[in-house]
């Protein structure tokens, strides 16, 4: 397989997973540790090297976010092999999105990682959407519309949830790198609103519009 991939210049991913480590490595380390994931990945890199194949990318995935972060950091520290980031079997949409954002996002923010995969127990289209948002949040992918809204509090004078729902519906399908901020009062709203491309700080019967 390596010979054929080399002939066709096809890269290969060495995908190590904390749930399927080799038995001898597992025995040596006791349980799946970052060092164990690193050792397994390097073993396979070694096999590739024996065949003169260097066009590899490594993943050291785990369902445990802290473990995958630690393992990827080790590989990044000790090699310059490209890395494919992911939290494996991250779970249903809500939990999986958060785990992926924390795991993948932490590493990307440190400059670690070359490709990513978000793995959710949901429609694969959602995985792409979440992946894109992770990249956008770190300015690693071009932005579409970015909506900023306050969490609401006792100062709120308008139906902010309703306004946001209407706005989201109206903006669906629009792909422009525009930052829109909607804030619920004229106390803290103006500062945030004035930094957006279009911002609104709503008050009692009035609103300040920034453009
Ligand atoms: S912007 Fe105003 S309403 Fe919104 S959370 Fe801040 S203080 Fe509360």
Nearest CA to ligand 1 atom 6: 188
Domains of the chain: 2-137 (3.20.20.20), 146-210 (3.30.413.10)
- Kindly give the distance from the C-alpha atom of residue 149 to the centroid of ligand 1, in angstroms, as a whole number: 9
Digit-coded pLDDT (tens) for 44-100 = 999 999 999 999 999 999 999 999 999 999 999 999 999 999 999 888 999 999 999
pLDDT digits (tens, 9 = 90+) for 93-106: 999 999 999 999 99
Atom of ligand 1 nearest to the CA of 153: 8
Query: Got the DSSP string for the chain?
Result: -HHHHHHTT--EEEEEEGGG--HHHHHHHSS--HHHHHHHHHHHHHHHHHTT---EEEEEEBSSHHHHHHHHHHHHHH----BEE-BTT--SHHHHHHHHHHHHHHHHHTT--SEE----SS-HHHHHHHHHHHHHHTTSS----EEEE----TT--S-HHHHHHHHHHHHTT-----EEEEES-TTTHHHHHHHSSEEEEE-SS-EEEE-
Within 6 A (CB) of ligand 1 lie 150-153, 155-156, 183-185, 187-189
pTM assigned to the model: 0.76
pLDDT at 15 over 90: yes
């Amino acid at each position: 397989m390596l010979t054929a991939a080399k002939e066709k210049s096809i890269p290969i991913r060495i995908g190590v997973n904390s749930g399927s480590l080799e038995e001898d490595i597992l025995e040596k380390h006791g349980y799946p540790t970052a060092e164990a994931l690193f050792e397994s990945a390097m073993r396979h890199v070694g096999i590739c090297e024996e065949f003169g194949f260097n066009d590899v990318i490594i993943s050291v995935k785990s369902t445990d976010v802290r473990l995958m972060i630690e393992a990827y950091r080790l590989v990044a520290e000790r090699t310059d092999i490209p890395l494919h980031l992911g939290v494996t079997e991250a779970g249903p949409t809500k939990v999986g999105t958060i785990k992926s954002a924390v795991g993948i996002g932490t590493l990307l923010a440190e400059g670690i990682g070359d490709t990513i995969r978000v793995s959710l127990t949901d429609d694969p289209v959602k995985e792409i959407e979440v992946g894109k948002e992770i990249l956008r949040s770190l300015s690693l992918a071009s932005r579409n519309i970015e909506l900023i809204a306050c969490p609401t509090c006792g100062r709120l004078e308008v139906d902010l949830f309703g306004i946001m729902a209407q706005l989201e519906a109206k903006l669906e399908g629009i792909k422009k790198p525009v930052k829109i901020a909607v804030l619920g009062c004229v106390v803290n709203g103006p500062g945030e609103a004035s930094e957006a491309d279009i911002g609104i700080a709503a008050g009692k019967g009035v609103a300040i519009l920034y453009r």
